[in-house]
Amino acid sequence: MKNIASVSGLALCLLLSLSMQAKPRIERAEPLSWFTGMNMPLTLMLQGEDLADATVNIQQIAAGKVMKGQCLGLTVKSQHNAESPNYLFVDLVATEPGLYRITLTKGKKSAYVDYTIEARKANHRANISYTPADVIYLIMPDRFANGDPTNDNTANTAEKAAPTEWFGRHGGDIQGIINHLDDIKALGATAIWNTPLLLDNEPTQSYHGYACADYYHIDPRFGSNELYKQLVDLAHQKGLKMIMDIVPNHCGSAHWWMKDLPYQDWIHQYPEFTRSNWQFTTAADPHASHADFIGMNSGWFDTSMPDMNLDNPDLLKYFQQWAIWWIEAMDLDGLRVDTYPYNEKEPISQWTAAVRAEYPGINIVGECWTRPTSQIAYWQADANNSDGYNSNLPCVMDFPLQEAMAAALGDKGEGWGKGLLKCYEVIADDYLYAHPDNVLIFDSNHDTPRVRDMLLDKSYERNKLIVALLATMRGIPQLTYGEEYGLISLNPDDIGNHGALRVNHPLFGNEPAKLEPKQKDLYEYYARLLNWRKDSKPVHNGKLMHFLSRDNTYAYVRYTDEEAVFVYINASDEPRLIPIERYAEVMDNYSKKGTDVISGQKIDLNEPMKVEGLTAIIVPLGKN
């Protein structure tokens, strides 16, 4: 693609011309390019040396030549300095695609950057984002597949490969994901969420990507901006959507701007290291002290993660443009936002609103890791909050359901309030959500124990029950790479150890996986269920009616006016007889004959039916 030149690196239409002694000097211009027809006005952040108060002039480049005369396709609206003299913010109006030369002049000295304006993609605003019809496959790229061993170490990155160390870089990359797109599709997933792929240049534990050192460039140990665009395009060709994981709350201590901040309040600074108190309930708590609230959103996540200050308007605009640029340049289908409530409360709402104004149909899921449901529901757009706060965030992560599933299947489920009743009680709290169907449901992710780590006896059969629930419940299901093979932690004595949890995928070395029979059986269970789910309208957008039970079973029906899906999960060790008469208020509207998705057996629910222990049945039903 010809216009990929605008997408990455200084070689991507970011050409600098100056002598070693000349001032001003331009080192970076961000965003890397921009587009006509955008709602978001362009504010170009120029960084280098002695840029403050420079005079800005723009000329168009055509046929490789700088055109003389007035430039109308890209014009300067205004400009302002930062506190550091080495930054200049320039507000630009882009009306015509093309290549432009932006020249900064101070006295007799000047420097320039060539900058690309592209035409906005005509249909991008109408793209369908991820919805409850999707199944999201979460990948930690460093641990998924090593498709290109030549980039395991690079000259311009600090940490080198250490494939046998829990917290080291193992070498997985974008090419590895490309190599296995067909495998992801065959499993039945329809969307991919990669943990951050941007440069993380910390000297240790840089593999996870959550300490960003450059917001506009893919980590070279994963690949390049061009290769990421290739991944997105190939995924789309295979019917897979692409979700980008972004982190506006904190950067990495190795980020280039940490040596010279634009403003001193660009990050939150303290006389000594001050960690967040991690109590994000303070954002909604009417009784919380202001000190506790500030301690939550202004403290640092870790010593290597400086906390960004979105109250700075130039930083907020920078992050709004950053997200929009990646969506537009790469044709992304959605976003996942890390540690959403730890950002400044009003600015993060403005950030989300700006992205959604540009892409009204986009889905953005925010990580709001807490419980109970009321604390998470506060952060979903349109919540009925007593303080009137609206985050503008369409989707939140259902941590209470994840914890309930793990607890329900982590023991025998015997006793009052035990077993699958825990899941029933979480779903009963859906009245708290403004949009209960647009929540992300999951059994594990990159921060939690592996699915089987949480289950009694690390049972494969219990694992099946969890995915049966996940595939049929309201919301958008998300799986974690390798769970379809029953991966467990490397260190069963310490399942809180992230390095031990983030194990390599069985296909990491691009060789056929050596699987045990139980792993093959589990994979087939996942694939059969998830591929069926692709065409189930009641699961995608049907209503949900569930039924109380205290015998460690869970029955519910997903239904539309035309069809239904009956789900019965028996998490006990003993057979259970389905009390079909209990479900008459919804089931009498549908035929009670169908075929179990999992076993392929014909089911007649008009007759008494016994379901064996640790077994689920899922039966699509037509209208009477």
Q: CA of 102: how far to CAs of 44, 73, 398, in Å?
A: 11, 12, 47
Residue 146 φ/ψ, nearest 5 degrees: -95, 95
- Four-point Cα dihedral 424, 430, 431, 434, nearest 10: 180
Does this model's pTM top 0.85? My answer is yes
Residue 126: what pLDDT? 66
CA distances from 516 to 460, 461, 486, 513, 521 (A): 12, 15, 10, 10, 9
Does the structural domain 2-121 have CATH classification 1.10.3720.10?
no
Half-sphere exposure in the Cβ direction for 383 (13 Å, CA):
27
Residues of the chain with CATH 2.60.40.1180: 542-622
pLDDT at site 125: 63
Three-state secondary-structure class, residue 58? strand
Q: Which of 338, 443, 483, 563 is catalytic?
A: 338
Specify the pLDDT at position 13. Answer: 41
State which amino acid sits at residue 172.
G
Check residue 109 and give its pLDDT: 95
Going by the DSSP 8-state scheme, the letter that residue 307 receives in this structure is B
Kind of pairing between the strands at 476-480 and 439-442: parallel
The rounded average pLDDT for each run of 10 residues, N- to C-terminus, in the chain (624 residues) is 40 39 85 97 98 97 92 96 98 98 96 97 78 98 97 98 96 98 98 98 97 98 98 98 98 98 98 93 94 94 96 98 98 97 97 97 96 96 97 98 97 92 98 98 96 96 98 98 95 80 90 89 98 98 97 98 98 97 96 97 94 98 94
Place of tokens 């991008």: 124
Question: Choosing from 200, 358, 367, 443, which is the catalytic residue?
Answer: 367
Handedness of CA 277, 281, 286, 287 (dihedral sign): negative
Is domain 542-622 annotated with CATH 3.40.50.620?
Answer: no
Which helix (H) or strand (E) element contains residue 293?
Answer: helix 290-298
For the chain, the farthest-separated pair of C-alpha atoms sits apart, in whole angstroms, at 92
Active site residue 338: yes
Give 258's contacts (C-beta < 8 A, 6+ positions apart). Answer: 251, 306
Under a CB-based contact definition with an 8 Å cutoff, are residues 571 and 554 in contact? yes
In the chain, CATH 2.60.40.10 sits at 2-121
CA neighbours closer than 13 Å in the CB half-sphere of residue 568: 22
Q: Is 481 helix (H, G, I), strand (E, B) or coil?
A: coil
Annotation marks residue 367 as catalytic: yes
* DSSP labels, 244-282: EEE-SSB--TT-GGGGS-SSGGGB---SS--B----GGG
